[in-house]
Amino acid sequence: MGKNVVVIGTQWGDEGKGKVVDWLTEHAQGVVRFQGGHNAGHTLVIGGKKTVLRLIPSGILRPSVRVYLGNGVVVSPTALLQEIGELEGAGIEVRSRLAISPACPLVMPYHVALDQAREAAMGETRIGTTGRGIGPAYEDKIARRALRVQDLFYPDRFAAKLERVLEYHNFVLTQYYKCEPVLYRQTLDATLALAPAIQPMVADVAALLQAARRAGESLLFEGAQGALLDIDHGTYPYVTSSNCVAAAAAPGAGIGPQMLDYVLGIVKAYMTRVGTGPFPTELTDAIGTQLAKRGNEFGSVTGRPRRCGWLDIPALARSLQLNGVDGLCITKLDVLDGLPSIKVCTGYRVGGEPVALLPTGAEAVAACEPVYEELPGWSESTFGVKSFEALPATARAYLRRIETLTGVPIAMVSTGPDRDETILVHHPFH
Q: What is the rounded CA–CA span in Å between residue 129 and residue 115?
A: 8
Q: For residues 220 and 21, what is the distance between their CA atoms, to the nearest angstrom?
A: 8
Q: Give the integer Cα–Cα distance in Å for 410 and 425.
A: 7
pLDDT digits (tens, 9 = 90+) for 266-315: 999 999 998 889 999 999 999 999 999 999 898 656 677 889 999 999 99
Residue 124 DSSP class: G
Least confident of 76-80, 131-135, 172-176, 385-389: 131-135
DSSP state of 270: S
Q: Are the C-beta atoms of residues 165 and 145 closer than 8 Å to each other?
A: yes
- The contacts found for 391-398 with CB under 8 angstroms, 24 or more apart, are 391/333, 391/423, 395/333, 395/336, 398/269, 398/333, 398/336, 398/342
How far is it, in rounded angstroms, from Cα 33 to Cα 225? 12
Query: Residue 128's pLDDT band (boundaries 50, 70, 90)?
Result: low
∠ Cα 7 382 19 (to 5°): 25
- Alpha carbon dihedral 85, 28, 13, 88, in 10-degree steps, equals -10
Annotated active-site positions, please?
Answer: 14, 42
Q: What pLDDT, on a 0 to 100 scale, did the predictor assign at position 60?
A: 92
Sign of CA dihedral 428, 314, 395, 418: positive
pLDDT digits (tens, 9 = 90+) for 45-101: 666 677 778 899 988 989 999 999 999 999 999 999 999 998 998 899 999 999 999
Catalogue all structural domains in the chain, each as residue range(s) with its CATH number.
4-102+202-262 (3.40.440.10), 109-198 (1.10.300.10), 266-424 (3.90.170.10)
pTM of the model: 0.94
